[in-house]
Structure 1
Amino acid sequence: MAKYPLILMTLLGINSSIRAQEDKFQWLEEVDGKRALEFVNAQNKATFEKLSKLKDYQSIYDKTLEISNSSDRIAYPSIYGKYVYNFWKDQRHERGIWRRCTLIDYNNGKMNWETLLDIDALSQKDSVKWVYKGANGLYPSYNRFLIELSNGGGDAVYIKEFDVNTKQFVEGGFQIDEAKGEAGYIDENTLIVSTDFGKGSMTTSGYPNQVKIWKRGTSLKEAQLIYEGKKTDVGSWGGILRTDGKSYVFISRAPSMFTAQKLLWIDNKIVTLDIPDDCSVKGILKGQLIIQLKSDWVVNGQTYANGALLSINFDKLSKGLKEVQLIVQPDEFSSISDVSTTKNQLLVNMLTNVTSKLFIYSFIEGKWADRQVKAPDFGTISLISAHEFSDQYFFQYENFITPSTLYAADAGANTFTAIKSLPSYFDASKYEVKQFKARSKDGTMIPYFIVAAKNMKNDGLNPTLIVAYGGFEVSYQPFYASKYGNTWLDKGGVFVLANIRGGGEFGPKWHQDGIKEKRQNVFDDLFAVSEDLITKKITSPKHLGIMGGSNGGLLVGVAFTQRPDLYNAVVCQVPLLDMQRYNKLLAGASWMGEYGNPDIPEEWAYIQKYSPYQNLKAGMKYPEVFFTTSTRDDRVHPGHARKMVAKMNDMGYKTYYYENTEGGHAGSSTNEQSAKSTALMISYLLMKLK
């Protein structure tokens, strides 16, 4: 406060009374503090005792757990060499097993799985609640992997070298202590590492600030420093780019969430690639670096528009020259949702009006030519895994009422075959999907999907749930509603997915129109969809609920504080809520490119207008909100949800609260924990909205 005198804050339009408020619940930010955990336990007990006794709770829990543990689920493939790897949880493997089978057997449906690592057994042996977070293999043999394990499900991981032939961690092998870092093989005896190397090696966001090369047989302290960013950056990371048998050490230094310098380590020196800091690198193929633009770029007198997918001759770029080609330019109703490469082909997954179309691009005689994959229409296509030694890849198709199907495909021949489909977990013949658009406050048309019974009456009485996110250029697309089908649709509910601004459904501008000082657009979009549902008499405020997690938790937190008249139920999951202190908690500083910096008066001026924690008022008719979080969430601090509940309760408002002791930002570590959370939330929604 001393930095900005009261008169200056007044001139800037800052509400000094909000900023000056004492936060008497800040003690709840002590994650494992005795008093804080006593508060959590008391809230958990009261919520569970109430909601678990509702008539639908047990059936929802049982059905959700049955689906989660079902042997009919798709075993999603990750291709490494001649094997397919898969991580699997079920009733017998609560924390999961990491396993593999040959690619040939997988393609033929003969999935003779070989268990490599049993996380339940490892947890029991180490007396640690391990959560598997991924594996990074040694190219090209893939006989060794760097396994990432989290204690309780947080983002911080331990990294240990594992031999898949002996099925053992390598004695005396590479091992890195817990940190929000990563590592990859340069060769069998060399890693590129970004982690916590000690004092000064992490940013204010809690991510690595240094990139080092580590040789086998030496200590991590002896690793060679090849790059160091700034402490105020989001972070710096290293990796490997491979093309035509060549490998390049690649470094990404991110000053903010949406910008990153792209660098190479060549001949023991750093080479900066002259490409936009806000573009994203999608891969490298046939000597062409593939990038996607987030803003217009003028090269050699030609302007390439934001959203475009480009290729650049990589060898020339590394020497400071730019030879650029346009691969595809999405129109105003389209965006690129995913890009992947096989040995010879480029796969581009496009969104048009929030449904997918898949294309194959071939680089022939220095030019790009495209072919469309004749996959099913009017749903979501997801690229699952691609083979770097052939043109085989896997993709999935699904929509709200069509079970997910996994396809094995050949990008060279442009053919595909169904490998596995989910069973129908609910009777989809009773339901239909429609897409509408609502007019937001500034006139922008906001699309949304409705899944409802074919015989639904437009009488304003239908219990309706809106799910939305609206941030970080994340697109919310149709998905097979296996759990919602049984627990919500079959109980008379209507499900709505809103494609509000802040996401990436219509390219970079759709996102940029919802950040920082434009954030209110995101909230107005949600209100527009809500009001459109009410106008159409699909529902009414008494029967309308909203659900969102993380940034979506902020969204619904703002929604019920700004427009409590619209909603009778709110599920606020792992949320940001205290936007005055968010940048001081865990990874919060990394999101200032999205929200702004509350320590700068000009930026706090717009943040304070919507920050839910600061905008709570006494005497309002707020809905009885259900907040959820995880003690081990090391991305979005559990203090956000804890403090909001404490403040609301102190004002006399009734709330529901459940904090899982593990699970990280995902909220749950096991299928049982996930089923419990789902049963609590859906039971709450049915209680409030039916």
Structure 2
Amino acid sequence: MTHRLKSAAALALCLGALSTQAQTGTPAPLSYPETAKVNQVDTYHGTAVADPYRWLEDDNSAETKAWVKAQNAVTDRFLEAMPQRQPTRALYTQLYNFEKFGLPYKEGGRYFWSHNNGLQPQSVLYTARTLKDKPQVALDPNTLSKEGTVALAGTAVSRDGRLLAYGVAGAGSDWVTWRVRDLQTGQDLEDRIEWVKFSGAAWTPDGKGFFYARYDAPKAGQALTGANYFHKLYYHRLGTPQSQDLLVAENQAEKEWGFGAEVSDDGRVLLINVWKGSARKNGLMLLPLTTRGGYDAQAKPVTVTLDFDGEYSPVHIDAKRLVLKTDVGAPRGQLLYVPLNAGLKVAERSQWRTLVAEHTDTLQSASAVGGRFVLSYLADAATRVAVHDAKGQKLRDLQLPGVGSAGGFHGRWSDRETFFNYTSLVSPSSIYRLDVVSGASSLFKRPQTAFNPDEFETRREFVTSKDGTRFPIFIAHKKGLKLDGNNPALLYGYGGFNAPMTPGYGVTAATWMKMGGVYVLAAIRGGGEYGAAWHEAGTKLKKQNVFDDFISAAEWLIAKQYTQSAKLAINGGSNGGLLVGAVLNQRPELFGAAVPQVGVMDMLRFHKFTIGWAWVPDYGSSDNAEEFKALLAYSPLHTIRDGKRYPPVMVTTGDHDDRVVPAHSFKYTAALQAANTGSAPKLIRIETDAGHGAGKPTAKLIEERADMLAFFAHSFGMQVK
């Protein structure tokens, strides 16, 4: 292929231009590496579509690595020349440097919670007998690698509190290796579990082993794609090799099936969640455990439902009933009472009844603690919490500090206490202890930060989209903001996979506000803010609604004189990166700068890489003729508008991302640089030895996010002190 020589030549050319700039001190014209094109054309349902940068899909080839090096050389020098870079990084570091606490949970008579002293690469897991005792280190992942790139991807403590199963991931990969640590000695056992993705660990009550889900190890030369590997649920008995693990559940006829498992509070039942791709619709099975809390390999799962007609999330189970959170027949969620007969036999559907009826607010989560049901609702994308008794009768609402987001409320039916956190756009996450019986809550941890929330304000407003749909946005900024259209603003969105965007504190938003900017979070369709119908209104053939909502939010901010097009930045990651790429192509004149992070940019081929096939329930597939037309109409890679002036753009990705593979960002950037879109920079920032986020150390996070804000500040001519 001709690009083999061009990649090396482009790298030399690029470095030469940068060398000239460094020697003279005069900014040289921005010159991008030449990206070779290949004669690749695919035909979809009679339509020919060129894919000239197909070779960039091989991120391990020498040519692609040379291209990455050349692109980073251009971007690094551009960013280094920005006067905003170092002061923004210093400010971001200052605001990031505060204690961060995870929610405490209790097991084996001990509390466990995570803690980061501020700038540690990874958070440390601590344990203590009481909340007042000095905590001891249970596991410090910072000791697992010199670079701090190994992160905890999950933990599970045995019921006697003696053993810790923990998953580790690194280099941005979704692949997780599970180990077991003796918490009394601090030493790891010989057990080692490989090829795990999208799975936690669930101990049997006897502490002799745990359930987990994994894929088969690939055969030599075999690529791990959705076409040739299957998720399977296993039981691992301590002290035995992984090859002897017992298969609990699989379905070779359904490659899209995945499994999750948790053990009931009373230790009698394994609840098996069966998922299909990214769809919120799932199946549910029950597996009886032995009277001594062990696993009997002869036991067979009992089906609650495998209809995949909605969500079925188990909340509580005992000898007589199973309580489910579901959106079946209730798009905004309800609790169902499912009678159980002897042998875990599930009653006919006609005998299921409503325990807590659907509300006008969206039921986001439900837990069973202290003989009560704690229900967390979204009221116009902000949290509302209600406590109900065992019969479903409402007892009280939990008073929260303001309009923000609360989460947690985990525990067992026999526990009296639970913990939750509360945060808003201007309030760092504080942790509270809740006495579920009395309803009294008390502060457990509140971080001290360099960000003073009293200097800022936040509000919720409502925007009307193109088709008349009304949705909320959350706005935060310094108090006394003058609405004259001259404020720099940053609009963030996601809009997919039933994931709600709720107001919560983040250092990126805090830094931007300290820099004098307005931060805006848009709760657009495709998310889970208003239940199943809201999510579905932003999927497949209706995906354009998501982009229309985001564009409408931008237009509203300009009309209300919060900002102007030239000072409006947009940002989103993953599905949010797709969002940014799509709206940027549709309305390039509306925005002043854009940073799509790890975006899904090639909507015709996304399902051909790693876990991409699982996103078909949200996006549709180019294999379907009607869905192909919809995908082609907004796919960021295929809709770049040659001849239109684009604002400054900086794409970000990681070269080891195995969720949204870097080829998406690589190909999109190459096409953007090749098109006639004006002189504003079109850069890509590629983090090496990193991916979608897992395992990325604090220093790398700070550098990446500070560079984004500095890029926006530079684009808008802002001064950063």
The answer (yes or no) to whether the contact 2:154–2:168 under 8 Å persists in 1 is yes
SS for the counterpart of 1:44 is helix
AA in 1 matched with 2:488: P
Listed as ranges, the matches of 1:136-535 within 5 Å are: 136-138=156-158, 140-171=159-190, 173-177=191-195, 181-186=199-204, 187-198=206-217, 204=226, 208-230=230-252, 232-248=254-270, 250-254=272-276, 257-266=279-288, 268-274=299-305, 277=308, 278-286=310-318, 287-296=320-329, 307-315=333-341, 318-322=345-349, 323-332=351-360, 334-364=361-391, 367-383=392-408, 385-386=410-411, 389-485=414-510, 487-535=511-559
Which residue is equivalent to 1:131?
151
AA in 1 matched with 2:471: I
2:643 aligned residue (609, 619, 643): 619
Which residue is equivalent to 1:41?
69
The answer (yes or no) to whether the contact 2:100–2:118 under 8 Å persists in 1 is no
SS for the counterpart of 1:273 is strand
Which residue is equivalent to 2:583?
559
- Over 3 Å counting, the alpha-carbon distance change for 1:223 and 1:524 in structure 2 is same
SS for the counterpart of 2:346 is coil
Shift of 1:519: 0.5
Of residues 626-635 and 427-436 in structure 1, the stretch that sits farther from structure 2 once superposed is: 427-436
SS for the counterpart of 2:363 is strand
The answer (yes or no) to whether the contact 2:195–2:216 under 8 Å persists in 1 is no
The answer (yes or no) to whether the contact 2:84–2:714 under 8 Å persists in 1 is no
Partner Cα distance (1:91, 1:499) in 2 = 30
Which residue is equivalent to 1:682?
709
Shift of 1:647: 1.4
Which residue is equivalent to 1:82?
109
Partner Cα distance (1:574, 1:41) in 2 = 18
Shift of 1:176: 3.2
Partner Cα distance (1:241, 1:345) in 2 = 19
Shift of 1:199: 6.1
AA in 1 matched with 2:611: A
AA in 2 matched with 1:268: A
AA in 1 matched with 2:109: K
The answer (yes or no) to whether the contact 1:279–1:291 under 8 Å persists in 2 is no
Shift of 1:429: 3.3
- Over 3 Å counting, the alpha-carbon distance change for 1:242 and 1:388 in structure 2 is same
SS for the counterpart of 2:600 is coil
The answer (yes or no) to whether the contact 1:500–1:525 under 8 Å persists in 2 is yes
The answer (yes or no) to whether the contact 1:98–1:117 under 8 Å persists in 2 is yes
The answer (yes or no) to whether the contact 1:203–1:234 under 8 Å persists in 2 is no
AA in 1 matched with 2:383: S
Shift of 1:652: 4.8
Partner Cα distance (1:357, 1:128) in 2 = 37
Partner Cα distance (1:269, 1:395) in 2 = 36
Partner Cα distance (1:73, 1:181) in 2 = 25
AA in 2 matched with 1:519: K
Shift of 1:309: 2.6
AA in 2 matched with 1:169: D
Residues 182-237 of structure 1: per-residue CA shift (max 9 Å, x gap)? 54322433332321234699871787432233444544333333322246533321
Shift of 1:253: 4.7
Residues 527-570 of structure 1: per-residue CA shift (max 9 Å, x gap)? 11111111112211111111100100000100100111211111
Are positions 1:659 and 2:680 aligned together?
no
Identity level (%):
26
AA in 2 matched with 1:435: R
SS for the counterpart of 1:488 is helix
AA in 1 matched with 2:557: L
Partner Cα distance (1:84, 1:62) in 2 = 35
Residues 459-489 of structure 1: per-residue CA shift (max 9 Å, x gap)? 221111111110111111111244423x212
Shift of 1:606: 1.0
- Over 3 Å counting, the alpha-carbon distance change for 1:667 and 1:255 in structure 2 is closer
The answer (yes or no) to whether the contact 1:77–1:385 under 8 Å persists in 2 is no
Partner Cα distance (1:120, 1:465) in 2 = 33
SS for the counterpart of 2:466 is coil
The answer (yes or no) to whether the contact 1:473–1:504 under 8 Å persists in 2 is yes
Partner Cα distance (1:608, 1:513) in 2 = 19
AA in 2 matched with 1:312: V
Partner Cα distance (1:143, 1:501) in 2 = 45
Are positions 1:30 and 2:58 aligned together?
yes
The answer (yes or no) to whether the contact 1:552–1:575 under 8 Å persists in 2 is yes
Listed as ranges, the matches of 1:515-664 within 5 Å are: 515-653=539-677, 654-664=681-691
RMSD: 2.8
- Over 3 Å counting, the alpha-carbon distance change for 1:130 and 1:491 in structure 2 is closer
SS for the counterpart of 1:640 is helix
1:94 aligned residue (121, 137, 149): 121
The answer (yes or no) to whether the contact 1:660–1:667 under 8 Å persists in 2 is no
Of residues 238-247 and 412-421 in structure 1, the stretch that sits farther from structure 2 once superposed is: 238-247
The answer (yes or no) to whether the contact 2:120–2:698 under 8 Å persists in 1 is no
Partner Cα distance (2:225, 2:287) in 1 = 22
Which residue is equivalent to 2:31?
none
- Over 3 Å counting, the alpha-carbon distance change for 1:393 and 1:208 in structure 2 is farther
The answer (yes or no) to whether the contact 2:429–2:446 under 8 Å persists in 1 is yes
Shift of 1:386: 3.0
Of residues 544-553 and 152-161 in structure 1, the stretch that sits farther from structure 2 once superposed is: 152-161
Residues 30-58 of structure 1: per-residue CA shift (max 9 Å, x gap)? 22222212222222232222223323322
Partner Cα distance (1:539, 1:55) in 2 = 23
The answer (yes or no) to whether the contact 1:631–1:660 under 8 Å persists in 2 is yes
Partner Cα distance (1:546, 1:24) in 2 = 28
Residues 230-256 of structure 1: per-residue CA shift (max 9 Å, x gap)? 465333214233144523352525366
The answer (yes or no) to whether the contact 1:181–1:208 under 8 Å persists in 2 is no
Partner Cα distance (2:421, 2:556) in 1 = 32
Partner Cα distance (1:424, 1:198) in 2 = 45
The answer (yes or no) to whether the contact 2:108–2:162 under 8 Å persists in 1 is no
Which residue is equivalent to 1:61?
89
The answer (yes or no) to whether the contact 2:278–2:618 under 8 Å persists in 1 is no
Of residues 354-363 and 452-461 in structure 1, the stretch that sits farther from structure 2 once superposed is: 452-461
- Over 3 Å counting, the alpha-carbon distance change for 1:388 and 1:48 in structure 2 is farther
Shift of 1:93: 4.2
AA in 2 matched with 1:391: R
Listed as ranges, the matches of 1:13-24 within 5 Å are: 16=47, 20-24=48-52
Equivalences, count: 656
- Over 3 Å counting, the alpha-carbon distance change for 1:129 and 1:205 in structure 2 is farther
